[in-house]
Structures are given as C-alpha cells and as structure tokens.
C-alpha cells in the first residue's frame, strides 16, 4: 500500500496533519494503541500503554539500545563511578535542543538544571512540582530510588553527580527506564508564571525525536518529527497514535490500512494474519514469566516433596500446546532465556504422575487432598488464558488425588488477596522493566515475602537471600551472573514455582514498514523506522 492510499483512508485526520506539517508528501505512521493514556508524563504512569503515548517526546540520561536491553549513552555522553560505586558522575551531551509545543518555545539548550528538575520532582516531597498531578511516582518508589539516591549535585552546566546511599548494580538500568525521562526546567518555570503547572503532564516537552502536537481524548494523539533532534531527524514525519481497545477492531483497521502497526493480537487471529501478504507478523520472546506457586506458610506446602509432587503432576507440554500455541515457550527458570545469567543447565521437572503419587505418600499426605487454585480473572501479557490453564491443572491434579477448587476475584482484589497470602496455591506472572536479572529475582527475596509483598510463595531462603543482596551490590557482571545462576538452581531445587511459560510477544505491521524492531521491554519505538 502506498503512502497515498494510506492518506486517503485516513481522510480528515490526515488532512489536518498535513496542514500542520506543511509537507506535500510527508510520511505518516499510525500506531493503533490498545488503550488511552492517563497522562503524558512517563514518571506518573506504569503501564506500557500509557508510556507509549509519551515515550517519543523524551530521552533519558542512559537509554536502552532499540530492540535490546543493552545500555547506550543517551543525554549523558559518558559517566564514571567513584567512591566504591557510591558516586556516579554524568557528563552531559552539549547542544541538545528541546522540542517546541504550541504555547512554549524553548530558548536554551538542555543542561544540568533539567536533570535536577526531573529527578528532584520525584525525589523531594517539598519540590514545587512534586504534588502537581497527584505526586504518585509509582515506579520511582517501587524501585526504591528514593532510598538509593541520597542527593543530586550540579557541578557545572554539563556535569551532574548522583550520590547513592550504597552501591547498586541495577541503578544504571533503572535510569534507562521511562520514569527517568528528562523534562525541561525552563518549561516548568514558564508554566509556573502562567499559573498552569498541571499542563506539564498534559502537553509534554522533551528532547526526544518527536514533539507533541495534539491529543483528542480516547481517539487520537499526534506528534511531528523534530528536524533538530540530536540523533538526526526521524524518517517518518508524522507519528499518529490511534486508540483502539478491541483487538478484533485493531485487526480490521490494520487490514483496511488505517493502522501501520498493532500489538496484542488475539492468538486465534494469527493464522489469518500470517496468510495475509500485505502484513508482516513479527514476534519475539517476551521478557516475562508466568508461574503457579504454593504458599509455603500453609501446610502441606512447607514440605518440598509436596511442591515437587504437584509440579510433576502437571502436563506442561499440553498447556503450552493448547493454551499458548505459537505464542509461548515452556519455562524452567524464573527468568526468561533472553536475560543474561539464564542458567541453561537446570533440568526441568518431568511430567510424571506416578512419581508424584510416591512423593505425596513419602511426605505423609493423605489423598484426597483438598486445595484451592487461584487463577487471574484477566488475560495478561504472559498468560493468554489463566482460567483455561487452571482447568487443565485441575484435571491433572485430580489424577493424583488432589482436588483443586478454582478461585478468582476481580483483578485488583485478586492481587491484593494473593499478596496478603490468602491463597494456598495461585497463578501469577511478571514482566521485566529494565532487563536486569535483579528485576526478576527480587520476587523470591525475603523482603518481598512480607504480607502484601510480591513474593506470594513466601519463600525466604537464607542462601538465596545472601546471594541476592551480594549480586545487588556487586558491579562485576561475571560475578553477578554466577550468583544468579546459583539462585536459579536453588529456586529449582526448592520447587518454589511451577514455571509455566515465557510468552512470545506478537506485533503485526503493514509490509511497507521497515527498520522497526520489537522491544523486549514491550515498548513501541519508531525513531529508526521508515516506510517504503
């Protein structure tokens, strides 16, 4: 499909964009997004859906290389650690310009003040912009950044020093996450003068490849390419987000040429998509894990033999085949194979109902044993159908004399009750945020095993915990990898989780999109892409 046809199908929307762009043959890309953004500040949202809407406006000090989890310099040209890893000095890039929006034209280049503004806004409760738009900096707080960062100091206009309370290996990867995006301090001052500070999170200004044009609520968001972007003007002139919550409608729009790219297709639509010559089906192993876990504070799950017995009773291959189809691979470790330090020598438990009956007998469990099995009420990126998986587990468990009662609650309530430790066994999963193994392993740490914590197995093993803390404070990647490999062996031996699968993320594009890369972090980035 040519750009011209695409424009025709977009009709009025495109015409308005062209008028704004002023170019006769501007290239436009329409991304069909699955939901509306809450706001346009990456520090105030946690879902990729909202982050996709503001991501292209901003840069971070360090960034993930597109399509990978490797760190590359962003707004900081270089950095060095000193004081045993407790001080980080960033040397900022010079001559980087902010993009303009309708009511604000930047007059100065990016400098250290902008870094201080962006971090102090989240760090300091008395910062004038802290409480604007509610002050809920969830990611910043969940990552413990408030405790890790003691203070931030401006040496000169292009040097910033972060003082940390202790050495922290995942710190640099954290800084590449969206919440660490750098906004404009000059813009904030201008808004304060005008008396409309809340605009900062609705009309975003940053140094990124695109600048914000307009948002029509629940319908469309428009961006235009910046010729003065520090990495050079992106090939696609107009970047448009069309908000389409229903996967079937997204597919229909993609076929009709009203979208260039869509995410989250229905697995059952994939065969049809693959047959269509005008589409390209892209996929990549997701940075995630789906698991079923046992609450070790409840009998009889305190006995490792019982946990192993239940794990061996479930036919994992059938779950992968019948529920995930092509969209998942069986998991044997708590981290996906795409993350460094993945321990491939771990051998998964076999499907062996006979062995599992013997183990139950050895553990002194009398059958029939009644347990509850919680399943999520909603589809998750790592789990296309928790209910169906629950039903398969229920059938497999009945063969070894375990009666599982299926239980579920509304999604928010489900997580709350699960984290309070109400379930005997339950399904859940995790999607990584920054590609660092710590981002997965903390799920089995003692800290998270408190009531309300994310460690719903309530697993707290001293050897595991020591290694977790040691790996967090070490900056030697090889040493960390070794520690993480050991921790995977411990998790396997202790039968903490029945690791179900790592799902494969699918994205479907028109065949004329080139140079686009699926991000393992679930981001949608178009700065290096082009249209044929």
Q: Which of 269, 210, 277 is nearest to 512 (CA)?
A: 277
Residue 523 engages another protein in binding (rule: CB under 8 A) = no
Smallest distance, another protein to C-beta of residue 251, A: 10
Phi, psi torsion values for 416, nearest 5 degrees: -60, -50
415 is a contact residue toward another protein (CB under 8 A) = no
| 391 interacts with another protein by CB under 8 A | yes
Tell me 161's DSSP state.
E
Strands (E), 116-157: 149-156
Stretch that binds another protein, among 54-62, 167-175, 405-413, 512-520 (CB under 8 A): 405-413
Provide, rounded to whole angstroms, the least separation between the CB of residue 340 and another protein: 36
Helix (H, G, I), strand (E, B) or coil at 143: coil
Binding-site string for another protein from residue 309 to residue 328, where x marks contact by CB under 8 A and - marks none? ------x--x--xx------
Residue 529 CA to residue 281 CA, distance in Å, equals 16
CB nearer to another protein: give 314 or 443.
314
# chain residues binding another protein, by CB under 8 A = 20
Between residues 113 and 269, which has the closer beta carbon with respect to another protein?
Answer: 269
Pick 338 or 403: Cβ nearer another protein: 403
Among 269, 276, 352, 465, binds another protein (CB under 8 A): 269
Residue 321 to residue 377: CA distance in whole angstroms: 21
Smallest distance, another protein to C-beta of residue 407, A = 7
- Contacts by residues 15-20 (CB-CB < 8 Å, ≥ 24 positions apart): 17/213, 17/222, 17/224, 17/238, 17/240, 20/213, 20/222, 20/224
Nearer to another protein, 157 or 276 (CB): 276
Residue 400: partners with Cβ closer than 8 Å, 6 or more residues away: 309, 313, 353, 356, 357, 360, 367
SS3 content of the chain, % helix, strand, coil (to 5): 35, 20, 40
Q: Please state the closest distance from residue 358 (CB atom) to another protein, in A.
A: 23
Give the H or E element holding residue 407.
Answer: strand 402-407
Q: Which stretch binds another protein (CB under 8 A): 29-37, 118-126, 273-281, 406-414?
A: 406-414
Among 245, 271, 337, 364, which residue interacts with another protein (rule: CB under 8 A)? 271
Which residue in the set 91, 97, 387, 417 belongs to the binding site for another protein (CB under 8 A)?
387
Between CA 330 and CA 193 the distance in angstroms is 56
Phi and psi torsions of 162, nearest 5°:
-100, 125
How many residues in the chain?
Answer: 532
Q: Kindly state whether residue 392 participates in binding another protein, applying the rule CB under 8 A.
A: yes
| Residue 401 binding another protein, by CB under 8 A | no
Nearest to 400 by CA among 349, 457, 359, 350: 359
Taking CB under 8 A as the criterion, which residues in 290-309 touch another protein? none
Residue from 72, 131, 256, 395 in contact with another protein (CB under 8 A): 395
Q: Would you say 143 or 397 has its CB closer to another protein?
A: 397
Q: 369 vs 407, which CB is nearer to another protein?
A: 407
Query: If binding is defined by CB under 8 A, does position 501 make contact with another protein?
Result: no
Cis peptide before 368 (omega within 30 of 0): yes
**31 class by beta-carbon count within 10 Å (0-12 exposed, 13-18 middle, 19+ buried):** buried
Using the rule CB under 8 A, which residue among 388, 415, 417, 517 binds another protein? 388
Task: Compute the least distance from the CB of residue 271 to another protein, in Å.
Answer: 7
218 binds another protein (CB under 8 A): no
Burial 252-278 (b: 16+ CB within 10 A, else e): ebbbebbbbbbbbbbbeebeebeeeee
Q: Does 520 bind another protein (CB under 8 A)?
A: no
394 binds another protein (CB under 8 A): yes
**Residue 52 contacts residue 210 (beta carbons within 8 Å):** no
Q: How far is the CB of 178 from another protein (least distance, A)?
A: 32
Spatial separation of the C-alpha atoms in residues 77 and 66, rounded to whole Å: 17
Q: What is the closest distance, in whole angstroms, from the C-beta atom of residue 354 to another protein in the complex?
A: 17
- The reply to whether 337 sits near another protein by the rule CB under 8 A is no
- To another protein, the closest distance from the beta carbon of 391 in angstroms equals 5
13 vs 400, beta carbon nearer another protein: 400
Question: Is 378 one of the binding residues for another protein (CB under 8 A)?
Answer: no
Please report, as ranges, the residues that interact with another protein according to CB under 8 A. 266, 268-269, 271-272, 315, 318, 321-322, 377, 387-388, 390-392, 394-395, 406-408
């Amino acid at each position: 499909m040519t750009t011209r046809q695409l424009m025709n199908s977009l009709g009025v929307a495109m015409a308005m964009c062209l008028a704004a762009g002023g170019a006769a043959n501007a290239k436009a890309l329409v991304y069909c997004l699955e939901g509306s953004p809450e706001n346009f500040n990456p520090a105030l949202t946690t879902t990729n859906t909202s982050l996709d809407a503001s991501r292209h406006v901003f840069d971070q000090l360090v960034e993930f290389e597109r399509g990978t989890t490797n760190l590359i310099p962003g707004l900081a040209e270089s950095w060095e650690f000193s004081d045993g890893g407790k001080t980080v000095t960033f040397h900022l890039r010079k001559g980087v310009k902010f993009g303009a929006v309708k009511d604000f034209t930047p007059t100065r280049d990016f400098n250290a003040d902008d870094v201080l503004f962006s971090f102090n806004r989240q760090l300091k409760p008395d910062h004038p912009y802290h409480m604007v738009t509610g002050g809920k900096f969830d990611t910043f707080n969940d990552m413990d950044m408030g405790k890790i960062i003691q203070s931030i100091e401006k040496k000169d206009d292009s040097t910033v020093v972060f003082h940390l309370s202790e050495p922290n290996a995942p710190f640099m990867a954290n800084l590449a996450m969206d919440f660490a995006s750098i906004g404009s301090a000059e813009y904030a001052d201008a808004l304060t003068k005008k008396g409309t500070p809340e605009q900062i999170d609705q009309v975003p200004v940053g140094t990124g490849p695109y600048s914000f044009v307009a948002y029509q609520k629940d319908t469309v968001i428009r961006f235009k390419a910046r010729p003065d972007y520090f990495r050079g003007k992106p090939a696609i002139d107009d970047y448009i987000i069309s908000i389409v919550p229903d996967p079937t409608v997204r597919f229909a729009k993609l076929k009709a040429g009203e979208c260039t790219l869509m995410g989250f297709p229905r697995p059952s639509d994939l065969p049809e998509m693959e047959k269509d010559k005008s589409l390209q089906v892209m996929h990549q192993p997701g940075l995630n894990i789906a698991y079923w876990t046992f609450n070790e504070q409840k009998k009889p799950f305190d006995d490792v033999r019982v946990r192993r017995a239940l794990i061996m009773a479930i036919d994992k291959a059938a779950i992968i085949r019948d529920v995930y189809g092509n969209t998942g691979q069986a998991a044997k470790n708590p981290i996906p194979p795409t993350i460094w330090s993945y321990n491939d020598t771990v051998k998964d438990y076999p499907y062996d109902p006979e062995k599992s009956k013997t183990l139950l007998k050895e553990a002194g469990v009398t059958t029939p044993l009644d347990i509850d099995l919680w399943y999520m009420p909603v589809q998750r990126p790592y789990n296309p159908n928790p209910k169906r998986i629950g039903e398969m587990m229920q059938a497999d468990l009945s063969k070894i004399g375990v009666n599982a009662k299926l239980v579920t609650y509304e999604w928010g309530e489900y997580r709350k009750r699960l984290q309070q430790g109400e379930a005997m066994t339950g399904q859940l999963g995790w999607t990584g945020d920054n590609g660092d193994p710590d981002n997965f392993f903390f799920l089995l740490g003692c800290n998270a095993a408190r009531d309300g914590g994310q460690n719903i197995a309530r697993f707290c093993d001293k050897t595991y915990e020591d290694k977790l803390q040691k790996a967090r404070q070490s900056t030697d990647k090889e040493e960390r990898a070794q520690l993480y490999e050991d921790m995977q062996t411990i998790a396997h031996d202790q039968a903490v989780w029945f690791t179900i699968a790592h799902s494969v993320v699918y994205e479907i594009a028109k065949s004329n999109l080139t140079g686009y890369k699926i991000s393992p972090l679930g981001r949608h980035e178009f700065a290096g892409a082009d249209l044929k």
